[in-house]
Amino acid sequence: MKKALKVLMVEDDPNICELVQLYVEKEGYQFITRYQGEKGMEAYYEEDPDFVILDIMLPEVSGWEICKEIRRDNPLVPIIMLTGKGESYDKIRGLELGADDYVVKPFDPNELIARMKAVMRRANLLDATKEKIELNSLTIDMKQYKVYLDGEEVVMPPKELELLYFFASNRNQVFTRQQLLDHIWGYDFDGDSRTIDVHVKRIREKLNTDSLKWSLKTIRGVGYKFEECPNR
């Protein structure tokens, strides 16, 4: 018998937790909830969940801090952030820390379930096409979900790695921000296109070296291109 997917929700509003629990369990998933940040972190390590839903504003430890800690421990477990503010800063910061998606309160539980399935579906699609790309001193290993530069591992959250892999798989092609959002985050993602700028900036910072024979170029007014530079 297939093991039920285990979902951990860290949210300080019991009413929201109870409502989400009804929908999550209806999908056949196991539901675990904690109302405080510190308790949420303890549950993460004790329960080893397959999916995490994090509120940003939590007692003791914020959702942002929990997200950072989870990503240090496991770069692959899907994370959806909940924000009551709906401000671009909250959304971008959550995605920058490694969250896969976000939902703004108040939300329809059906939307949350749909976004959870979208995140899982994209992960499954990646499972079917994992490969290794080697470019000069850069190696992108999708089987292990790891990036290496000059033989040293460069730690990247899933979305940064997936974006880099997509660029490297489509060298010398120009993509708009919306095209990149569609390919990496999915067509149902309605977030800010600045999400792409944040991820590109972090990729550049982590792989900043003059020895590379490629560059991640900004095409003004359009988007980005992964360009090979054989003369370097």
Residue 1's pLDDT is what?
41
pLDDT tier, 47 (very low <50, low <70, confident <90, very high otherwise): very high
**What's the predicted TM-score (pTM) here?**
0.61
Packing angle, helices 109-128 and 14-26, rounded to 10: 50
Asked which of 113-117, 125-129, 208-212, 221-225 is least confident by mean pLDDT, the reply is 125-129
- The domains located in the chain, with CATH, are 6-127 (3.40.50.2300), 130-228 (1.10.10.10)
Three-class SS of residue 232? coil
- Read off the pLDDT of residues 182-199 as tens digits, 9 standing for 90 and up: 778 765 555 666 788 989
